[in-house]
Structure 1
Amino acid sequence: MRTDSPHPVLPARPSRRAALRHAVSAHAWRDALSVDTSRISYAASLRVGMAVGVVLVIGGVTGCRDIAGFAALGTLVSAFCRSDPYPQRAGRLGVLAVAITTAVGIGAVLGAYSGSFMVEIGVISALAGAAAYLVSALHIVGPGGIIFVFAATGAAGFAGDLSDVGWAVAATALGSAIGLLAALAPHLIAMSTRRGHTEVPGSATRESLWTQLSGGHFSHTRHHLLISAARIAVAAAAAAGLAAAAGLAHPMWAAMGAMAAMQGVSYHHTVSRGVARLLGNIGGAAIAAVLLALPLGYWGAVTAIVALQTCAEVFSTVNYAMCSLAVTPMALLLTGLGAGLSPEMAVDRVLDTGIGIVVGIGVAALAITSRDLHTTGNRTEFSCTSH
């Protein structure tokens, strides 16, 4: 259980120097390793793992192994909104299903027609900001906007023509539908036993999704969310640019590292998530290197992916570093389903993530405000984030 206060005493006025010192403080690193088992859940985690497994099996049986990974990404909508009432969850998951399918479409079009890596960085970084705004505006708890960036990046590397765009989008849409069914399965079963009784206490006062997205009457909240989204877009572009300049093979992984760190609700959370993700990626990369070196084949990889994804979901409410420990090899195996990866890619993953985390924390420190220092919030942004 947590023994430290989750929010350290920080200066009353924002200080970039103090913020950077906090990033290397013992408190920040201890907090990244703290464990909380009070909200652990197995049923929801198993549903996510089963949804991923179902689409990967369908892909293997039908001979569509090259696009099965996109269907698996679509099913990850089931990892969101796990604590929401079911009617509210259905609407939000529907929005996320459309969003991840759109992200794959954008990435696939870039891969098929862009021809410019700088354009890809710019568009996907903008997508990162938009995804962050979407998730925050709808108060969605789960893996965060990074999944959409991962999906778009994978699609950009896959698509070579219009046919590839169509297949990637169709597979993601199918996976999203299966993920939606998996997330709502308990509610649908309960509805069938109650012969359609669906009344939920307090549901009449719920805000519409559009009101939440537009900010409604809370313009100051919308302004803050837009600024946060802009920071994430800038950090993602800068991280990807630096990784590309360093000659790394997958610079968009650096963009995801920056985004993952900056999904916290405060600067302290940004630092804590960054440290936890770095530690988790180092351990996860070692696991990935071993798995990628083994002759797993498609079905062996599917087994490992399902097991790792389920573990990541279980760990998502316990500790972010432990979650990243499972997510990193899962993401690399999923990426390698369509085109095999060598064990050396695990090292690239760590380097790219390290660049992304440093850039993310740096941008957050440079743009720090009093609100960033003292925002605590009651909502925990936990996730298997991603990828």
Structure 2
Amino acid sequence: MYAESVTRTETAARTPSRLTHSSEAIAHTASGATWRAAFRVGSADATIAPAIRVGLATAVVLVVGGLLGHRELAGFAALGALCAAFGRYEPYPRLAGKLAMVGAALVASIAFGSAMGVVGVPMWLQIGILSLLAGASYCFMSGFRITGPGPVILVFAATGAAGYASSVDDLARLVTAGALGVVVGWVAAMLPALVLPMGPARLAVARAVSAVGRLEQSGTGAVEPALGSIANARLVIASSGRIKSTVDHGRELVAVLDEAEAAVQQWQLHGDATLIRSIAQHEKELRKLKRSSMIEHDLAPAPTLAAPEGYFLEGLRRLYSRPVRMNALRIVAASALAGWLAAGAGLEHPLWASMGAIAAMQGLNYKQTVQRGIQRLVGNVGGAVVAAGLIALTLGYWQAVAVIVILQTAAELLVIKNYALTSLAVTPMALLLIGFSAPIGTEAAVARVADTLIGVVIGIVVAAVTISRSDRHHVTV
């Protein structure tokens, strides 16, 4: 009993109080290492095809909207088409369902925002309601593990609709435009399934093989990531469909993963890297765009495939998990506080401050929240300069469409590498889209920076005050 009491006392002594932990978190934001990390450009592979798909979907809806004479609605159709930006690298059967859910959520957000505009909900109440929408959107995307731009897109869609719609007819037109955009985005994202149904599975196996190939240079610390990459590749293969061509190819890919797992075990037990070097040679072949190919080696295909992952029911259960609920509450609080503070300061677009807080708090932990906040702020400053220059040029509709498509494609190319670079492209793109439905001047770019600053600061402060005691990612060991 005494020993247990001493152990509990020592543990309590090592565990900082919430005030101390929050103070350490706030101090982390001023660290030079934190700012250097925010500007670090990461590596990314297989980014071109997803970026082209999103750019293509955006171009289609903007061009069609312009040709049909509905230029003021084209921006909302483009927001619907952004569903193509979600779930990159997912196996196509699973991607089809997730994109349909995202599309439905985008249309619902447009309808919801339009309804607020029609009713004439005052700004302070809009801020509160859309902050609740942000929390619900976070639960939805976290629960179903939908990767991509995150809840901020749904809030942006609702915000734009609330500012535009003034009648039931407007509501119907916006919802129709958004729904048509979703259809275009869904089709653009799913088109490769007709030609390369096992593309995501091949990429996942290539990444697993690459992770195994790095073991010899990286040491034992790379074992867990390698095994995790192998496990993820197995799930992707299992979820890639059950037609004969995908099953046969999937069995071949599973055999490669079996060999990769054996290579890891051999290296761990005997320090023998022979099999690691052998398996690493398959990466180049796996990254080729092939519909169905057998990797040239002596492995027999695996006899069976694992059952596909039941992501929907599991997602429903995760919706109500405590970590998801707690972070959703933090997002609601940060979004509402940022918006109300911006409104109280007399800023013209207080909901932009709310979106700044939401975007920052999409990080998985406090360290990522701070990094995203810094990146969004810096990216918005640079993007505002670009936006001011573009707005000053008074671009015509078609010139603006060309710029938007280029910026959207660039954002998708850069999103995995560095969020600041993504914000640099997204900020002028978003302002140009707004310009389709309402006149906008260069002062809007300055307002965007001011609102973002408020949102980021509030988001980081709320994250620090509510930080979990177990969140030590930002602490230098």
TM-score by length of 1: 0.89
Deviations 1:95-118 (A, max 9, x none): 000001001110000011033212
Report how far residue 42 of structure 1 moved.
Answer: 0.7
Q: Aligned partner of 1:244: which letter?
A: A
Report how far residue 337 of structure 1 moved.
Answer: 0.9
Q: What is the match of residue 345 of structure 2?
A: 246
Deviations 1:347-380 (A, max 9, x none): 000000000000000000000112333499xxxx
Report how far residue 199 of structure 1 moved.
Answer: 4.5
Q: Aligned partner of 1:336: which letter?
A: G
Structure 2 stretches lacking a partner, 5+ long: 1-13, 198-240, 251-304
Structure with the bigger RCO (C-alpha within 8 Å, sep 6+) is 1
Q: What is the match of residue 150 of structure 1?
A: 156
Structure 1 stretches lacking a partner, 5+ long: 1-10, 377-387
Q: What is the match of residue 415 of structure 2?
A: 316
Contact 1:105–1:165, Cα closer than 8 Å, also in 2: yes
Report how far residue 43 of structure 1 moved.
Answer: 1.1
Contact 1:258–1:357, Cα closer than 8 Å, also in 2: yes
Deviations 1:201-242 (A, max 9, x none): 5573312414312328xx6xx111011011101110100000
Whether 2:435 is the aligned partner of 1:336: answer yes
Matches within 5 A, 1:276-355: 276-355=375-454
Matches within 5 A, 1:100-179: 100-179=106-185
Distance 1:44 1:203 in 2: 27
Distance 2:34 2:374 in 1: 8
Contact 1:22–1:28, Cα closer than 8 Å, also in 2: yes
- The alignment partner of 2:472 has SS state of helix
Report how far residue 28 of structure 1 moved.
Answer: 1.3
Whether 2:307 is the aligned partner of 1:204: answer yes
Q: What is the match of residue 5 of structure 1?
A: none
Identify which of 29, 54, 62 aligns with 2:35.
Answer: 29
Report how far residue 23 of structure 1 moved.
Answer: 1.1
Comparing 40-49 with 278-287, greater Cα deviation is found at 40-49
- The alignment partner of 2:148 has SS state of coil
Contact 1:55–1:175, Cα closer than 8 Å, also in 2: yes
Q: Aligned partner of 1:93: which letter?
A: L
Q: What is the match of residue 364 of structure 2?
A: 265
Distance 2:48 2:470 in 1: 35
Comparing 367-376 with 104-113, greater Cα deviation is found at 367-376
Contact 2:367–2:474, Cα closer than 8 Å, also in 1: no
Contact 1:265–1:375, Cα closer than 8 Å, also in 2: no
TM-score by length of 2: 0.73
Contact 1:74–1:97, Cα closer than 8 Å, also in 2: yes
Q: Aligned partner of 1:214: which letter?
A: R
Q: Report the count of equivalent residues.
A: 360
Q: What is the match of residue 59 of structure 1?
A: 65
Q: Aligned partner of 1:257: which letter?
A: G
Distance 1:43 1:236 in 2: 34
Who wins on radius of gyration, i.e. which is larger? Answer: 2
Alignment root-mean-square deviation, CA: 2.0
Whether 2:331 is the aligned partner of 1:232: answer yes
Deviations 1:142-169 (A, max 9, x none): 1111100000000000100101011111
The 1:308–1:12 alpha-carbon spacing in structure 2 relative to 1, beyond 3 Å, is farther
Q: Aligned partner of 2:87: which letter?
A: C
Report how far residue 296 of structure 1 moved.
Answer: 0.8
Distance 1:130 1:199 in 2: 36
- The alignment partner of 1:264 has SS state of coil
Q: What is the match of residue 359 of structure 1?
A: 458
Report how far residue 24 of structure 1 moved.
Answer: 1.5
Deviations 1:12-52 (A, max 9, x none): 54511110000121111111100112335111101100100
Distance 1:297 1:56 in 2: 13
Contact 1:253–1:349, Cα closer than 8 Å, also in 2: yes
The 1:66–1:142 alpha-carbon spacing in structure 2 relative to 1, beyond 3 Å, is same
